[in-house]
Structure formats: C-alpha cells, structure tokens
Chain A
Amino acid sequence: DVKVTQSSRYLVKRTGEKVFLECVQDMDHENMFWYRQDPGLGLRLIYFSYDVKMKEKGDIPEGYSVSREKKERFSLILESASTNQTSMYLCASSLSLPHSVFDEQFFGPGTRLTVL
C-alpha cells in the first residue's frame, strides 16, 4: 500500500513564525502536491513538484514556498505565518506513468495548523 505521512497531525504556531510542514511518501512517486482545505472551499492546490528540485505554483502560492531535496520528501514552508493561514494542509503523491495520462493521487492524513 502507498503510504503518505505528514510530520504532525496538529500544529500551533504564532504569527510571524517560520513553519515547516513535512510530507514523506514511500512509493517512489515522482509527483507530490500540497493542498489547503478550508470549509466551504474544498481543497486548493498550493504547490506541486514533478521531480527533485522542481516545483510549480498552484492556485494559491502566496505566502508559501516549498522544497524538494529528495524524491520522497516534499516540504511546505510558511516564511512568516499569519492567522489567515490557519487551515488543514494535505499532502498527496502520484506516480508519473510514461504511457498513461492518469496518475491516482494518494493523500496523507493532513496537518491541522493553527496560527495565533
């Protein structure tokens, strides 16, 4: 079974702090994604990566950055946390299939971040 793990289930930080959210997958997936989940808005893509050291902005990248130094690990960084970044953060990964356009995304359990 594919396993996507996230470093924390719950996190409480203060405004202005630098925050790191870590995601690790164990199935050698090329693609990794960070989504933000808010009530009434569903999930929205923050950033994704299709290879080590490669990253692409999603729909709501402002206030976030990412790092992918190793294939299995994808980090989301809040440079200076603000209260409007209080949310649930979900990581996902998928395999890049060479002869297919479909790649199922597998999700981690999520990190509930509260910024005070």
Chain B
Amino acid sequence: AQTVTQSQPEMSVQEAETVTLSCTYDTSESDYYLFWYKQPPSRQMILVIRQEAYKQQNATENRFSVNFQKAAKSFSLKISDSQLGDAAMYFCAYRRAIQGAQKLVFGQGTRLTINP
C-alpha cells in the first residue's frame, strides 16, 4: 500500500519570503502522480500543482514549484514571494497512474501561517 508522510504539522513564514513544505511517500510502483492541494480556512480544497512521475522536469505554477526526487521518494513544495492568501492547510497526495477512478492517498497536512 502507498503511504504519504508530511513531517511538518505547522510552518510559518514572513510575507514575501520563500517557504518549503516537505513530503515523502512510499510506493513500489514506477508510474504515478503526485499533488499538492491547498485547503484555505473556508475549506474548499483546490489543486495547487501536480507532477507526473515519468517526467524529470519539476512542475511549476507561477509562485509554486516542486522539487521531485524520485529515487529519494521526496516531493517538496516551494512557495516563493509568500502572500497572505497562501495561508492554508497544504496536503501532499499520491495517485496511481491507472485509468479509472483512483483514490488519492493523502499526507497528514501542514498548516502554513503567513506573518505580515
């Protein structure tokens, strides 16, 4: 079974600075997807960024980027130029690369606070 671990229950960063959230996972499969989801205080979960395991290039979405280390089974999220609106719970998630309805396996979550 696949597992996802986020070892940082809480993180804080000063506005405009950079923060990195950690995620490690365990799987015996070679092809899969990894995601970072954001859950703001209003609770609607939204997808921030995704990475296909077969791609070596790290995904980037504006101020959000990942450091995907497949051999180390590590998938960290870097948020540059942090903004107050980035304050949220962040979840790392794994999905098998198989067609059809596939569950997401989530980490425990990291609560990110942005200090003005």
Chain B interface residue count, Cβ-Cβ cutoff 8 angstroms: 27
Alpha-carbon distance A90/B98, docked complex (angstroms) = 23
Contact B103 A33 (CB under 8 A): yes
CB distance from A3 to the nearest CB of B (A): 10
Interface contact A48-B106, CB-CB below 8 Å? no
Cβ–Cβ contact B101 & A56, under 8 A:
yes
The distance from the CB of A48 to the nearest CB of chain B, in whole angstroms, is: 6
Contact B101 A48 (CB under 8 A): yes
A48: chain B residues at CB < 8 Å are 101, 103
Other A-B contacts than A92-B45, A109-B42, 17 sampled, CB-CB below 8 A, are A33-B101, A33-B103, A42-B4, A42-B91, A42-B107, A48-B103, A49-B101, A56-B101, A96-B100, A96-B101, A97-B99, A101-B98, A102-B33, A102-B52, A105-B104, A107-B46, A109-B43
13 residue pairs of the A-B complex, CB under 8 angstroms, read: A30-B101, A35-B104, A40-B9, A44-B106, A59-B103, A90-B45, A94-B101, A101-B97, A102-B95, A102-B97, A107-B37, A107-B45, A110-B44
- Residues on A close to B: CB < 8 A? 30-31, 33, 35, 40-45, 48-50, 56, 58-59, 88, 90, 92, 94, 96-97, 100-105, 107-110
